[in-house]
Amino acid sequence: MLSLRKKILVAIDGSPQSDKAAEEAVRMASGNQSQFKSRIYALLVLPNAPTATYTDFVPSAPMTESKKWDELRERLFYVVEKYAVEHDIPLEMVVEYGDPADKIISLAKREEVDVIVIGSSGKGFLQRRFRGSVSHRVATNAECSVYIVR
């Protein structure tokens, strides 16, 4: 069986489901025994950055520029970083602002990702009913394979 390098995108949000997805993404990447290493893109999507209004004299800085960002980033990416280092898998950490499903799909398309690994929805019934789960929207609209981890 021909086994070439794969590009794997894993969605990170700090939840137990995303930690399981990160473990699974690293497992998939480390299972590639060819001379070409698979690469993991760990994507964290933050809510839209607040925009300045006429009443704001000094708009608030984005979360990534706050003093607490390094600690938060370390905590959110801890699992995927730990497993990637243990298995010697190249890892690129990406932080974007916006709608999670849209950003996951656009990064996958831009980087020509082979598979998206995402945790199952942690939303309640009503919220899932009104907005739809991120994992469902990604699975429905992505051009590549999507692996949903429960």
CATH code of the domain occupying 7-50+59-149:
3.40.50.620
Domain boundaries, the chain: 7-50+59-149
- pTM equals 0.81
Phi-psi region of 7 (alpha: psi -120 to 50; beta: other; left: phi over 0): beta
127 vs 39: CA distance, rounded Å? 33
pLDDT tens digits, 94-131: 999 999 999 999 999 999 999 999 998 655 454 555 55
pLDDT tens digits, 59-76: 555 656 666 878 888 899
Strand order in the sheet with 115-119: 91-97, 39-46, 7-12, 115-119, 145-149
